[in-house]
């Protein structure tokens, strides 16, 4: 009887296993960041409601952080260096499918949808977010070697004060902005210098945004889902 039940269930077990394998399969050259940096903190904002749109973003099916293997290995060196001083990284976004970028574009064209304005772009007119470079039809994130992140205290998990929050759309988020206090400037410099030391380059308008200089897919934009 037991043997009969096992044989009857076997096709379903195999199908489930194949489905799970297909779900977790990434394109060649990509990895889950947690497989490279097991203890890194993650707050994948676009998988939930706490972002400038105020809703989960299309293409983010599960809170999984994905990067190219090359970028993840470089990021592991950043984490290791920060750990020496009881600090670590917190990742807000990594690989971003083109589907998500398209969602941003569609949202930006709807001037009436301002759900996240108070927290994320209180001083900006949504109609000009494209012109100012906050929204674009293509994103380096879709190439798999760009990451949005900050520094935290390992014990408290508290983020270092960077003068503005992640994804705040405004002048205060730019590296060149000087009207923040000395500690905030120091924290931004620490993140920037450590990331640059290990092969990343900063984006001038966003203190949290870094791209691996020697990225493996410089001209290729991916659209597989985050799962």
Q: What is the pLDDT of residue 8?
A: 54
The answer to the question of residue 148 being in a domain is yes
Report whether 48 contacts 93 (CB < 8 A): no
pTM of the model: 0.89
We report the CATH number of the domain holding residue 179 as 3.30.1380.10
Report the C-alpha gap between 217 and 227 in whole angstroms: 20
148 annotated as ligand-binding: yes
Q: What is the pLDDT of residue 15?
A: 40
The answer to the question of residue 16 being in a domain is no
The answer to the question of residue 108 being in a domain is yes
Which structural domain, as residue segments, surrounds residue 132? 30-212
Report whether 78 contacts 194 (CB < 8 A): yes
Question: By CB neighbour count within 10 A (0-12 exposed, 13-18 middle, 19+ buried), where does 171 fall?
Answer: middle
Reported as half-sphere exposure (CB side, CA atoms, 13 A), residue 191 has a value of 28
Question: By CB neighbour count within 10 A (0-12 exposed, 13-18 middle, 19+ buried), where does 76 fall?
Answer: middle
Q: What is the pLDDT of residue 90?
A: 99
Helices 182-197 and 69-83: crossing angle in degrees, nearest 10, is 130
Of 81, 119, 206, 215, the catalytic one is 206
Q: What is the pLDDT of residue 14?
A: 42
The answer to the question of residue 10 being in a domain is no
Report whether 147 contacts 68 (CB < 8 A): no
- Could you give the number of structural domains in the chain? 1
The answer to the question of residue 199 being in a domain is yes
Q: Give the position of tokens 């924290």.
A: 187
50 annotated as ligand-binding: no
Q: What is the pLDDT of residue 189?
A: 99
Could you read off the pLDDT tens digit of each residue along the chain, which spans 227 residues?
Answer: 555 444 555 544 444 443 344 445 899 999 999 999 999 999 999 999 999 999 999 999 999 999 999 999 999 999 999 999 999 999 999 999 999 999 999 999 999 999 999 999 999 999 999 999 999 999 999 999 999 999 999 999 999 999 999 999 999 999 999 999 999 999 999 999 999 999 999 999 999 999 999 999 999 999 999 99
> Is 215 annotated as catalytic?
no
The answer to the question of residue 2 being in a domain is no
Q: What is the pLDDT of residue 180?
A: 98
User: 3-state SS of the chain: helix, strand, coil percent to 5?
Assistant: 40, 15, 45
Q: What is the pLDDT of residue 118?
A: 97
């Amino acid at each position: 009887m037991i043997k009969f039940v096992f044989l009857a269930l076997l096709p379903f077990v195999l199908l489930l296993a194949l489905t799970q394998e297909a779900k977790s399969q990434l394109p060649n050259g990509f990895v889950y960041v947690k497989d490279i940096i097991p203890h890194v903190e993650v707050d994948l904002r676009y998988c939930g409601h706490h972002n400038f749109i105020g809703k989960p973003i299309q293409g983010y099916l599960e809170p999984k952080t994905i990067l190219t293997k090359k970028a993840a290995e470089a990021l592991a060196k950043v984490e290791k260096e920060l750990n020496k001083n009881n600090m670590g990284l917190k990742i807000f976004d990594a690989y971003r499918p083109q589907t998500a970028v398209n969602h941003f574009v569609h949202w930006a064209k709807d001037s009436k949808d301002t759900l996240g304005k108070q927290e994320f772009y209180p001083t900006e007119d949504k109609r000009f977010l494209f012109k100012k470079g906050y929204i674009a039809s293509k994103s380096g994130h879709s190439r798999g070697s760009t990451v949005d992140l900050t520094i935290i205290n390992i014990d408290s998990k508290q983020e270092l004060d960077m003068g503005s929050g992640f994804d705040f759309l405004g002048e205060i988020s730019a590296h060149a902005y000087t009207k923040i206090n000395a500690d905030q400037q120091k924290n931004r410099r620490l993140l920037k210098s450590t990331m640059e030391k290990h092969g990343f380059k900063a984006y001038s308008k966003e203190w949290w945004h870094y791209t691996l200089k020697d990225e493996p897919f410089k001209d290729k934009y991916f659209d597989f889902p985050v799962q």
